Structure formats: structure tokens, C-alpha cells
Structure 1
Amino acid sequence: MNKAELLQRIIATLSLDLDVVQRAAQTAYEAATAEENIAENKYDTLGLEASYLATGQARRMEEIRQARAAYQQLVVRDYDPARGIQISNLVTLEAENGSYQRLFLGPEGAGLKVGQGEQLITVITPRSPLGQSLMGKAEDDEISLTLGAKQQRFVVVEVS
């Protein structure tokens, strides 16, 4: 999968996620404003709980909308060894145990997974510990992360 195709798949996935969250937010809003959910006493909190849910769904909807807009405006650049790894680079890492991981360094949408099987690519951002460690690195560089009490090492195998 090339980066242009990957970018389109990320945008499509975010669009689907946005549609699902919009429907959930609308349902939560309707529950929060429904006449039958008006509190009858101080212990009747169904309407209040629904309003909290609607607020959370609205926030999530805005996060996804902003992530999608960031990807729609993203200029995909080829890897420049002089600059090292930057946003819009596709990176393959090898862990100490020999497993491989493909990552796309994006502006938003951390944790989003696109593709399947050998083609599975995980989106990370420069705000994550791994993303911070990758910024400016080059092929064959080693990255070391401490997550919890465990030290993990990776080698940058390929960057595009």
C-alpha cells in the first residue's frame, strides 16, 4: 500500500468513525432532552447522565472532525534522510524479538489501524513516546523506550 492510498484509507476510516459518533451523539442528545427523562426527584439522574454522555460524544465528534481535516490537508512527503523521520513517513520497525511493526506518523488519529494482516499499519503521532523517539531518526537507527518498568528496543528497518 503506497502512502497516497494509505492517506485516503485513513480519511475514509475517520469519515466512517465520524458518522457513527454523530449518530451516537444524536441519540444521546435525544435521550438527554426527552420529556420522560426529566428528573422527578434528586435521585432521578437519568437525564443528567444522558447529558454527560451527549457532551462526551460531541467532544469525540469534534476530535474526529479535526483529525479528518488534518489528514485532508496533509501533504505527503517522501522520506528525506537529511531531515530524518517526519510527519507523513511510513516506518517499519523491528523489535528485539524479531517481530515487525508498520507505523504511519500522522498529525492526529493515534491508534487508528488501517489494513489487515501483513498490510496492517498503525497511526501514531509525534506526541506519543514512540513518535517522539522516531522524529529525526533514520534507517538502521535504534530506538529505546521505557514503558512502565520494561525497556523496549526497536530498529528502524525502512522509511518511506
Structure 2
Amino acid sequence: MNKQQVYQRILARLAQDLEIAVRAAKTAHETATHEENIAENKYDTLGLEAAYLAAGQSRRVEEIRQALSLFENLQLRDFDEQSGIQTSALVELVNDSGQHRWVFLGPDAAGVKVQHEGIEILVITSRAPLGSALLHRLPGDELEIGQGNTRQRYEILDAY
């Protein structure tokens, strides 16, 4: 698995998400400020709802900008057995059912998914239970996350 190519796909995905979010925020702002959406009485809330949507879209734009900036400044490190898994690691896991899962431990943008060579790779952060459990681990290590009946076990197959 080529970590540099996966990283480039994540950057491209974040840039695409940012472009879409900027367009959505612009549209929401135009809707909120359009003269047809001025309230005619106290029950007319279309303009207020549009303003809330515009504010939410603007926050989303800033979140994506921040994630993109953090990824652009991320230094990709080769896997080092002394340090174990760190931020910028690409990790292959297998669960008890034999299902393989690939994760990229990033500085932000948790939940972003990219495809590479027909494989789905999920971005996670060290703030997530799985990301936290992976830190400093090595291929061959087993880990368990969750509580009660929702516990999941994984084995780390490889790390890049």
C-alpha cells in the first residue's frame, strides 16, 4: 500500500469537500439575505432558518479549512518499530470475523473515507477510541475497544 498516494487522495478529498462547502455556504448566505425572506410577521421564520443554515455552513467551511491545513502541514513518517504507530500511519487491521479494515491516523478530518486500489481507507484521529488504542502499537499486537457487548477486537496486520 502506497501511503503517499493515500495521503494525496485525502488531500484531494478535503479540497473537494471544501469547494462544495464554500458553494453551499454562499448559497445559504444568499438565501438568508434575499429580500423575499424578510419576515412579514412573527410566525414567518424562513429568513431566520436560512440564517441558521448559513451560520452552520460557514462553521463547516472553517472546520474543513482547518483539517486541510493540518493535513497539508502533516509530515508523513515511515513506520518505526521504536515509536510504534503514530499520527500519519496507515494501518491494516483485521477483526475477529476476519474482516480487514484500513485506517489512516490523521491530525483531523475523522470520518473522511477515500478509495485506493479498490480499498476503503477511513481517516481516524488519536481522539477516537480506535486511534488512541493504536498509538505506539506494533504489527502483531491485538487490541480491544468498546464497552460491554459492543467490544471489538482487532489485530494489527501491518503499519506504514
Q: Please, what TM-score do these two structures have when normalized by structure 2?
A: 0.96
Q: Supply the distance in 2 between the matched residues of 1:128 and 1:149 (Cα, whole angstroms).
A: 19
Residues 2, 117 of structure 1: alpha-carbon distance in 2 compared, 3 angstrom cutoff = closer
In the alignment, what sits opposite 1:124? 124
Q: Give the deviation of 1:57 after TM superposition.
A: 0.3
Give the letter aligned to residue 157 of structure 2: V
Worse-superposed segment, 139-148 or 38-47: 139-148
Secondary structure in structure 2 of the residue aligned to 1:19: helix
Alignment of structure 1 residues 56-75 onto 2, 5 Å? 56-75=56-75
- Contact 2:33 / 2:47 at 8 angstroms: preserved in 1? yes
Letter in 2 for 1:57: Q
* Structure 1 residues 57-102: Cα deviation after superposition (integer angstroms, max 9, x where no partner): 0000000011111111111000111111100111000100011001
Corresponding position of 1:43:
43
How far did residue 147 of structure 1 move?
5.0
Unaligned runs of 5+ in 1: none
Q: Which amino acid is 1:7 matched to?
A: Y
**1:89 match:** 89
Counterpart CA distance in 2 for 1:48 and 1:117 is 45
Q: How many residues align structurally? A: 160
Unmatched 5+ stretches in structure 2: none
Structure 1 residue runs of 4 or more that deviate by more than 3 Å after TM superposition: none
Equivalent position of 1:30 in the other structure: 30
Same amino acid, percent of matched pairs? 51
d(CA) in 2 for partners of 1:72, 1:85: 20
